[in-house]
Structures are given as C-alpha cells and as structure tokens.
Chains A and B, each alone.
Chain A
C-alpha cells in the first residue's frame, strides 16, 4: 500500500509537467506574434515590447520554460496584463464562490442520486425506473447553462422563491450567500445526478445477483437489511470513480454556470480574461484547475483501498 501510494503520487509529476509545458508552449506554438495579438490593434511598439518581456517572449524557449516553471513552483504565476496585479492574488480573490458552488454540487448530487439509483435498482423495470432512465438521457443532453436559465426563470422570475442572478459573499451571512448559490448548484447538478444515478443502479443490479446476497436472504435478512447493510456498500467505489472522472465536467460546467448567474468566481475571471486577452490569467486558471483535477483523482485512487479492502495493488 505504501509503495503504491508513493508510486501513484510520483505519477502525478509528469502529468503536471505536461500541463505546464502545454499552457506555456501554446504561447510559442501559435502562429504570429502573440504579443502583437494580445496587445490589440491600436497598441504602440512600447506596449508590444512590454507584453513581450512580461510574457518572457524575448528569450530561447527552454530557458524561458525553466525560469517560468521555477517561478510557478514558488507560487508566482506572473502578473495580469490588464490590472498588473499578481495572478495568484486575482485567482484567490475569486476562489470562494467557485469552490463553494462545486462543493455544494458534489454533496447535492450524491444526496440526490444515490437514493434515486438505489430505488431504480430495487424496483427495476418499474415505471419509476424507466422514468429515471429517461430523465438521465435528458440531463445528459440539456446543457447545464440551459438548465440554469430554466431554473432561474421558474424559481426566480415566476414563483420568486430565490434570487434570479447575483451572488452575496459569505461575509454578509451564510444563509444569504447559500441562497444565491442554490439555483446554480441545481443547474450544475443535473449531469452529475444522472451519472451517479446510473452507476448506482448498475452496481446495485449486479450486486443483488451475487451469492452472498442470496445467502443473506436465505438466512432471513429482510429487504431493508439486504439493501442497506449488504448491497449499498458496493456502490462507494464506482461512485468515487465517477466523481473523479467527472471533475473535468464540473469545472467546465462551473465556468459556464457562473456566467448565467453572474457569480463573480473563477469562471467570470476567465471570461473577462478572454475578452481582454489576458493570457497570464488564463494560464493560471488552467494550471490551478488541472492541479485540482490531478489531486482529486489522486485522492480517488488512494481512497479505493479505504472503501474496498478487497482491492490489492
């Protein structure tokens, strides 16, 4: 187990190195002079020179990459071309709403999806099961930002239960803040709920045909005992796997959902950065999200063992 953990942790290094090489190398690979492009149409020669040296484009590639990597390793992601503030500062300012949104989405999805999936499997081929399967296909197809508008229209504009758009920071009260995140959370939930419901249902269906379940039944364990004490445990590993591989979806979804609900998080920061061609910010956001993805998947791989002692490495 220890050897495996060390090996698994070391495996993240080449992945992160590749991501770094990618976001950095893109600047050099793109046709034309990125400095000219970023500076915009009515930039002076000085502006272009300033951007070029800010991005370090006036040196050979490998030296630039090594220097940049060194700075990144020390937590320096450079300065925004637009505001001149450090990228790390700008990202950390916007981190709270995005992380809260993601965390709420994860928790809500699990709380909604596992009971739905369990019920689908328990009553499989029933009308409820079929309805769930159909809803799953629908939520894979309707983009989260469309779901977002639909929810905002129903619960915000028509029945006026929740704020349509906007965000209230934590400092102005936890409930007030949570209220603004409820609709975005449910919009972002839709895909995750479908994924987790399907995997829960499939795993349970397979588990319920196992010998030990039959034995438990023969021994006189009731329906509830079979489901909760024997079968449901097996759902943990596949659900964690789905959460790990779904993080990329969650990140993409959060960026778009924040735009729908005007939440000043990382997504909005990215969107503003695209409009201003503020590449250091985009670089920083991608590095941060990729690191998050890699770390969550590392955690998932290490958690397997804790949830299922049968897994040996």
Chain B
C-alpha cells in the first residue's frame, strides 16, 4: 500500500490515467449489470425524453435508452482501441526490425511508408470501408493499416541507432546471427518506447473510430458506438443537446485518460527515447 502511494506521488499522470482507464474497462465489461437495458430496444412511445431518474441520459429519437447505449459504446471504443494498438504494434515491429536490418527491405518499406503517411488516417479508412461492407473488423483493419507506419518509423529508427552501439557490434563480431542480435539486444531496447507509442495509438484509434462512425463510415449503424450515437443525435442536437453531450463526454474522458497514461509513461522512461516520440 505504501509502495503504491509512493508510485502515485512520483507518477501522478500514470496513476490517474490508469485509474480512469480501468474504470472504463470495468464499465465496458460489466455494462449489462450496471442498470442498463437492451441498448437497441426501440420504444416509440418514450422517444426523445430528457434525462430523468428513469432514463439517466434521456432517450433518443427511436426511444432507445441513451445511458445504456453510451455504456455499451465503451465496449466498441475500447475493443477498437486495444485491437488496433496490439495489431499495429505487432505488425509494425516486425516490419520495422526487418527494415532496420536489411538495406533492400528498408529502401522498399520506407517508400511505401512515405506514401501511406501522405494519406490522412480517416481518408485511408474511408477508402477501405467504402469498398467493403461496414463491420467492426473492417474498421479495426483500416485503422491498423493507417497506424502501422508510425510504429515502423519508430522501431526502424531505434534499431538503426541501436545497431551502432558497441555491445551490439561486439555481439555481431563474436558470430551472433542477425535474428539472435534482434531478439537479444535490439527488440528488448525498443519495448519502452514502443509501449508509449502504442498507448498513443490506442487513443488515436478510438478517436478515428468515433470520427468514422460520426460521418457514417464506421461500424454499422445498428451497433451502439459513441460515434454512431452522436451521428444519430446530429439532426436533433439543437433542441436535445444531451443526445450528443453524453457520448462526447465519455469519448473525451477515454482519450484523455489514455493520453495521460501515455504522457506519464513517456516521462517515466528514458527521456532521450522520450524525445523521439
């Protein structure tokens, strides 16, 4: 307990961010038991009710309970955020390490990365989504593809500079294979910076999903995601601002807690690496 308190005092940003994020994960997992009803249940009789004791966040134009929809929305956002963070870290690290160790791979990969970086995330995702049927998997895939270049750049840069270190050179001189050098010396030294980067990517992915759903290019409209709830509230928000306020608040708090976690981790790890991110 004492140790925990010391940690909180030393890294308040990590502590606050991690606490808020775990609260949101709790909400996402236990959404069905937190006083919610079926988030897709229609009830034309009680449509566009203002927030009250019965409907905490009011009801939307189809009579669905906004509180239930917002709580279930946490599932969509966090699933997208965590999946994109994990997938882009995995694929990006493999490509980045390969580019850092092979000149030919590097030349090809860096041209492709330059090209991909010049297409804004949202537009890249829109292109993919407009050619397929809207689904959660496609959204995750599209955002992952858009975020991979960030990881590749980081890992490639780090492995290029790590390779010049004398302990890596001596390892190569004593006959270690490239794979062994990568596994033993390069990869472990990228983990700290990678952790910070994927935290930010998680936040960016949640933002991208919400933006995509908001403009109608995200998860199918039937899924209660924060972007979708806001998109549906768009026509009525001037008279019923709560239709947009609650999902917007949850979305902002989620991204804020992830960013605080990222900033805290960045400051906690080696400041020299921190500068590169």
Contact = CB atoms under 8 A, between A and B. Distances in A.
B130 A282 contact: yes
B123 A275 contact: no
29 contacts: A14-B114, A18-B112, A18-B114, A19-B115, A23-B127, A30-B131, A37-B131, A37-B132, A140-B255, A143-B207, A143-B210, A145-B211, A145-B214, A146-B248, A157-B241, A248-B118, A252-B211, A255-B122, A255-B215, A256-B122, A256-B214, A260-B234, A273-B130, A274-B216, A279-B131, A285-B123, A286-B119, A289-B123, A290-B119
B255 A274 contact: no
Interface in A208-251: 248-249, 251
Chain A CB within 10 A, most for which of B114, B131, B241: B131
Nearest to B122: A252
Nearest to B211: A256
Interface string B198-213: 0000010001001100
A31 interface: yes
B119 to A, nearest CB: 5
Give chain A's interface residue range (CB within 8 Å of chain B).
35 or more
Interface of B: 111-112, 114-124, 126-133, 203, 207, 210-211, 214-217, 230, 234, 237-238, 241, 244, 248, 251-252, 255-256, 259-260, 263
Given A32-B132, A273-B130, 7 more contacts: A18-B112, A37-B131, A143-B251, A252-B123, A271-B215, A283-B127, A286-B126
B123 A137 contact: no
Interface of B (DSSP majority class):
helix
Given A19-B119, A252-B123, A274-B216, A153 B114 contact: no
Chain B CB within 10 A, most for which of A15, A252, A273, A282: A252
A138 to B, nearest CB: 7
Contact of A274 (B130, B210, B256, B260): B130
B251 A146 contact: yes
Interface in A274-298: 274-275, 277, 279, 282-283, 285-286, 289-290, 293-294, 297
A164 B238 contact: yes
B214 A26 contact: no
